[in-house]
């Protein structure tokens, strides 16, 4: 039963970790996606996410709305504990984290804005009858950040920005308990809220710019239910009921140094995520039995970095973009499992933009190639080999209102 609780905590914290270190999504604007996320020194409405100081370099009132379609692919070979190298493919799904931004820049040097985006989430789905169904069948995690922002330009060279994060999150997990006959279906679901903040500064010493932004840790307090589809004989052992836990969405630092002239922008970027804040998870069952007991589970993730390079070339009403990034994963081998099949990965991107009057359409594409990862000695006793990749396609429509 301790294993059941371990899976519950996983569900409340993670969905599918195949797309950024941990359960993080960094693609919140197609223009930045096309540049591999190297956007700390550029400016657009999407700067609310990447560096709020950039808002002061916009003019008038601007609106942007977009989404990123994510097409993941993963397969697992094993588990070795079953003396098999059987290969199982994750069920195909499409995810669509979306973004919306509204900004206004005043002639006085102030700028204000609000952004809505989903920086943590995604999901996974494996076949109902696969060998890992006792760990996970389907999971889904969503976060919604509402980020009102203000920025001020102290001079033509220096701007700062800051904002608050209001966060709402939902999570659902389904799995099976295979130690009973018939097997017991488990559905765990919950939601929660939290608050945080972000700050940034941008120094423009043409043609060179330096940008820095920080988004704080957010502690999300979840409450939900555990439901067991089971024979009546198990009612006393597995009554289900209300559950509570809390999860820390980690601090994130983004920085970049860029070169820009009339036609070209090039940036070298760096991102640091303080995953070490995800150390011990406590879970509380409102109804305790011999099987349902409050638990403390250790994870102790590592802090990790992303290294990025992005290029934009502008000519007439068109822009072409490209980029590359290397993204480290925070998970120690012993904690890797089908709900958490993370590994280091390379990200290759390109994109384009076209402006027609006050309307700009941006497209961004990313291919993510994960390193093959073999894990042995895992906590859940499910050793084997993971392979994964993903295609991401982003689109944004931006309009200068006045």
Q: pLDDT tens-digit profile of 103-129?
A: 999 999 999 999 999 998 877 889 988
For residue 98, CA distances in Å to 67, 95, 129, 261, 342 come to 4, 10, 32, 31, 23
Measured at the CA of 216, the angle between CA 112 and CA 42, to 5 degrees, comes to: 50
Whether the pLDDT of residue 20 is over 60: the answer is no
pTM over 0.95: no
Least confident among 209-218, 219-228, 302-311? 219-228
Which residues are CB-neighbours of 233 under 8 A, at least 6 positions away? none
Q: What is the DSSP string of 166-196?
A: EEEEEEEEEEEETTSSSPEEEEEEEEEEEEE
**Residue 300 zone, left/alpha/beta (φ > 0; ψ -120 to 50; rest):** left
Q: Are 49 and 117 a contacting pair, CB within 8 Å?
A: yes
Length of the chain: 402
Residue 56, both tokens? 């002061």
List the beta bridge partners of residue 283. Answer: 245, 295
Alpha helix segments (H runs only) across 45-84: 47-50
Question: Which residue in 344, 338, 335, 342 sits closest to 377, CA to CA?
Answer: 335
Neighbour count for residue 123 (Cβ, 10 Å): 20
List the beta bridge partners of residue 124. Answer: 139
124-148: pLDDT as tens digits = 889 988 988 988 898 888 999 999 9
Neighbour count for residue 317 (Cβ, 10 Å): 11
Task: Please report how many Cα atoms fall inside a 13 Å half-sphere around the Cα of residue 75, on the Cβ side.
Answer: 6
Give the H/E segment covering residue 141. Answer: strand 138-153
**Domain boundaries along the sequence of the chain:** 2-400
Least confident among 40-49, 230-239, 278-287? 278-287
Q: Are 240 and 224 a contacting pair, CB within 8 Å?
A: no
Q: Average pLDDT in the 274-284 region?
A: 79
Whether the pLDDT of residue 81 is over 70: the answer is yes
Q: Quote the pLDDT of residue 121.
A: 80
Q: Quote the pLDDT of residue 337.
A: 78
Q: Quote the pLDDT of residue 204.
A: 96
Q: Quote the pLDDT of residue 12.
A: 35
Q: Quote the pLDDT of residue 13.
A: 38
Round the average pLDDT of the chain to a whole number and report it.
Answer: 89
305-360: pLDDT as tens digits = 999 999 999 999 999 999 999 999 888 888 887 876 789 999 999 999 999 999 99
Whether the pLDDT of residue 3 is over 50: the answer is no
Q: Average pLDDT in the 370-384 region?
A: 89
Neighbour count for residue 221 (Cβ, 10 Å): 14
Positive or negative, the Cα torsion across 82, 85, 86, 90? positive
169-205: pLDDT as tens digits = 998 888 898 888 888 898 888 999 999 999 999 999 9
C-alpha to C-alpha distance for 124 and 226, rounded to whole angstroms = 19
At the second CATH level, the architecture of 2-400 is Beta Barrel (2.40)
Give the H/E segment covering residue 32. Answer: helix 30-34
Alpha helix segments (H runs only) across 284-401: none
End-to-end C-alpha distance for the chain, whole angstroms: 60
Whether the pLDDT of residue 19 is over 60: the answer is no
Highest mean pLDDT among 73-87, 322-336, 343-357, 367-381: 343-357
C-alpha to C-alpha distance for 332 and 230, rounded to whole angstroms = 34
Q: Quote the pLDDT of residue 377.
A: 87
Q: Quote the pLDDT of residue 291.
A: 67
Q: Quote the pLDDT of residue 292.
A: 65
Question: Which residue in 90, 170, 93, 183 sits closest to 134, CA to CA?
Answer: 183
More confident: 48 or 331: 48
Q: Quote the pLDDT of residue 340.
A: 67
Q: Average pLDDT in the 374-398 region?
A: 92
């Amino acid at each position: 039963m301790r294993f059941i609780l371990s899976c519950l905590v996983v569900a409340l914290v993670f969905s599918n970790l195949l797309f950024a270190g941990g359960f993080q999504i960094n693609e919140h604007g197609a223009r930045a996606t096309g540049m591999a996320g190297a956007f700390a020194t550029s400016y657009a409405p999407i700067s609310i996410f990447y560096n709020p100081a950039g808002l002061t370099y916009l003019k008038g009132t601007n609106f942007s709305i977009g989404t990123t379609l994510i097409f993941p692919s993963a397969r697992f070979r094993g588990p070795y504990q079953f003396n098999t190298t059987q290969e199982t493919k994750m069920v195909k799904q499409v995810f669509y984290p979306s973004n919306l931004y509204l900004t206004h820049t005043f002639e006085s040097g102030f700028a204000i804005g609000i952004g809505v985006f989903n920086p943590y989430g995604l999901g996974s789905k494996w076949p109902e009858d696969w060998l890992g169904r006792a760990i996970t069948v389907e999971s889904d995690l969503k976060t919604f950040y509402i980020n009102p922002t203000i920025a001020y330009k102290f001079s033509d060279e220096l701007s700062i920005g800051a904002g608050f994060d209001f966060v709402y999150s939902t999570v659902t997990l389904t799995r099976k308990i295979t130690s009973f006959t018939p097997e017991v279906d488990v559905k765990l679901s919950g939601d929660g809220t939290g608050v945080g903040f972000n700050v940034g500064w941008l120094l423009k010493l043409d043609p060179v710019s330096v940008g820095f932004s920080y988004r704080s840790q957010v502690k999300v307090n979840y409450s939900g239910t555990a439901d067991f589809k089971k024979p009546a004989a198990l009612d006393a052992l597995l009554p289900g009921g209300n559950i509570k836990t809390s999860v820390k969405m980690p601090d994130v630092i983004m920085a970049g140094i860029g070169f820009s002239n009339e036609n070209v922008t090039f940036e070298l970027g760096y991102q640091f995520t303080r995953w070490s804040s995800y150390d011990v998870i406590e879970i509380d069952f409102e109804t305790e039995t011999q099987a349902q007991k409050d638990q403390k589970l250790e994870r102790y993730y590592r802090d990790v970095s992303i290294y990025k390079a992005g290029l934009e070339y502008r000519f007439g009403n068109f822009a072409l973009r490209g980029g590359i990034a290397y993204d480290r994963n925070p998970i120690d081998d012993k904690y890797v499992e089908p709900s958490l099949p993370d590994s280091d990965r390379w990200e290759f991107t390109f994109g384009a933009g076209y402006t027609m009057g006050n309307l700009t359409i941006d497209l961004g594409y990313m291919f993510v190639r994960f390193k093959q990862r073999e894990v042995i000695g895992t906590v859940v006793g499910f050793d084997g080999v993971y392979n994964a990749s993903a295609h991401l396609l982003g689109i944004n429509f931006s309009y200068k209102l006045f």
